[in-house]
Amino acid sequence: MSIDPEAVPELSIDASVRVGERELRYDLSVSRGEHVTVIGPNGAGKSTLLRTLAGLQRVADGVVHVRSLVVDQPATKTFVAPHDRDIVLQPQTGALFPHLTVLDNVAFAPRSRGTSRRAARASAAAMLERVGIVDLAGRRPRELSGGQAGKVALARSLNSGSAVLLLDEPAAALDVEARAELRHHLNDLDATVVTVTHDPVEARLLGNRIVVVDDGHILQSGTATQVAASPRSRWVASLLGVNIVSGAAAGTTVMLDSTSLTLAEEAVGDVHVTFPANAVTLHRQRPDGSARNAWPISVTGLSTDGNRVNVAFEGPFDGRALITTSATTELGLGPGTKCWASVKATELTVLPA
């Protein structure tokens, strides 16, 4: 029977992994061309998930597929070596080769596949130009800053030509501008990408789907809106308790599709504006005060966490507020309630889009 390659997941794992005395269990499928962001607290098992998919960590039982090929299955004594999986893993350290120049680091993948040195270097130079670090081509890794090394590691991954990229905290050492460039590069990729991050903005803006790993297993999976609306742990609620809207800034005004926000400081161009859910206040009537941004909303859901209530809403944009249970009762909030949301300009953070 023939298999439609588009219908086969690019990656899938249904397996147990033992790390020391700890057992982790993963059940995850990633579609071809999908961009998945993996989040979770320190020690949750995120990096181990990437290492297992890449073949650097063997499974104890179960199976790992790359497309329709079984690459790790102890029951059948099947194991495909990492270099035969057409997968690139970029670890947190970047793992640049210290004896090679930046250009030759980026040229390494095509060279290892038999591409001529001249052609590999040409493709590497083009990638360095694309990432904006062509001036670093002749340097060695020891001569790079942390941010520069992070960009080189990304350029090497992008230049691999692999169908699958596994990226472990690729933006960890990058500044705000470089993080914005990273998002553009990754979101434009025609490849399957799985990215581990601790950054709430990256978690919301990178990828089609968020996968939450906690205590060595997949806790939940869905779009950023779905996961933020119904977080299954306090950690997830805290990380994703950030509202993000996008618009065009001119001075202290950011124009959105059907409303605007006033900033405390001037900005220009396309931007993302972030503000925490606990900075949003809700009102039955439009609030007064020039320091506030206010917009009408409709409550779409509520979930209780101790003495706080996570309020999901829709309006000019979808968002969340984190308020006390007493405020929820006082306002008489429930699904469908019409009210007003507000946030102070000083609570808004502006990031380049």
Compute the C-alpha angle 170/172/174, nearest 5°. Answer: 90
- Residue-wise pLDDT for 312-348, tens only, equals 999 999 899 999 999 999 999 999 999 999 999 999 9
pLDDT at 306: 77
Compute the C-alpha angle 106/154/225, nearest 5°. Answer: 160
Verify that 144 and 258 share a domain, yes or no.
Answer: no
Give dist(CA 319, CA 228) in Å, integer. 9
Verify that 233 and 346 share a domain, yes or no.
Answer: no
CB 316 within 8 A of CB 246: no
Nearest alpha-carbon partner for 191 in 90, 79, 96 = 90
Could you tell me the pTM of the whole model? 0.82
- Residue-wise pLDDT for 16-26, tens only, equals 999 999 999 99
pLDDT at 7: 57
Q: Which of 223, 239, 255 is the last residue of a domain?
A: 239
Verify that 69 and 197 share a domain, yes or no.
Answer: yes
Verify that 157 and 29 share a domain, yes or no.
Answer: yes
- Residue-wise pLDDT for 206-261, tens only, equals 888 999 999 999 999 999 888 887 788 878 887 888 898 999 999 999 999 889 99
Verify that 182 and 283 share a domain, yes or no.
Answer: no
DSSP labels, 213-257? EETTEEEEEE-HHHHHHS-SSHHHHHHT-EEEEEEEEEEEEEE-S
Verify that 140 and 28 share a domain, yes or no.
Answer: yes
8-state DSSP, 288: P
- CATH number, domain containing residue 263: 2.40.50.100
CA distances 266 to 180, 243, 256, 274, 279, Å, are 19, 20, 16, 15, 20
Verify that 143 and 214 share a domain, yes or no.
Answer: yes
CB 313 within 8 A of CB 323: no
Verify that 154 and 196 share a domain, yes or no.
Answer: yes
Helix (H) or strand (E) holding 282, with range, is strand 281-283
Chain centroid offset of residue 112 CA: 29
Chain centroid offset of residue 182 CA: 11
pLDDT at 18: 95
Q: Which of 210, 239, 268 is the last residue of a domain?
A: 239
Verify that 113 and 193 share a domain, yes or no.
Answer: yes
Verify that 98 and 213 share a domain, yes or no.
Answer: yes
Give dist(CA 59, CA 80) in Å, integer. 12
CB 243 within 8 A of CB 277: yes
pLDDT at 3: 40
Compute the C-alpha angle 261/39/25, nearest 5°. Answer: 155
Give dist(CA 13, CA 27) in Å, integer. 5
Verify that 203 and 281 share a domain, yes or no.
Answer: no
CB-based contacts of 213: which residues, under 8 Å, 6+ apart?
38, 39, 40, 44, 45, 46, 49, 219
CB-based contacts of 77: which residues, under 8 Å, 6+ apart?
none
Using only C-alpha atoms, the chain has a radius of gyration, in whole angstroms, of 23
Q: Which residues of 57-75 are buried (b: 16+ CB within 10 A; e: fewer)?
A: bebeebbbbbbeeebbbee
Q: Which of 215, 239, 263 is the last residue of a domain?
A: 239
Number of structural domains (the chain) is 2
Residue 102 corresponds to which amino acid?
A: V
- In the sheet with 260-276, reading across from the earlier edge strand, the strands are 242-255, 260-276, 349-352
pLDDT at 5: 45
Verify that 107 and 18 share a domain, yes or no.
Answer: yes
Question: Is the backbone of residue 289 left (phi > 0), alpha (psi -120 to 50) or beta?
Answer: left
Chain centroid offset of residue 215 CA: 19
Query: Which residues constitute the domain of residue 348?
Result: 242-352
| Residue-level pLDDT, tens digit, the chain, 353 residues | 334 445 578 999 999 999 999 999 999 999 999 999 999 999 999 999 999 999 999 999 999 999 889 999 999 999 999 989 989 999 888 789 999 999 999 999 888 888 899 999 999 999 999 888 999 999 999 999 888 898 899 899 989 888 899 999 988 878 888 888 888 888 888 889 999 998 888 888 888 899 999 999 999 999 988 888 778 887 888 788 889 899 999 999 999 988 999 999 999 999 999 999 999 999 999 988 655 799 999 999 988 877 889 899 999 998 999 999 999 999 999 999 999 999 999 999 998 88
Sign of CA dihedral 223, 229, 234, 239: positive
pLDDT at 50: 96
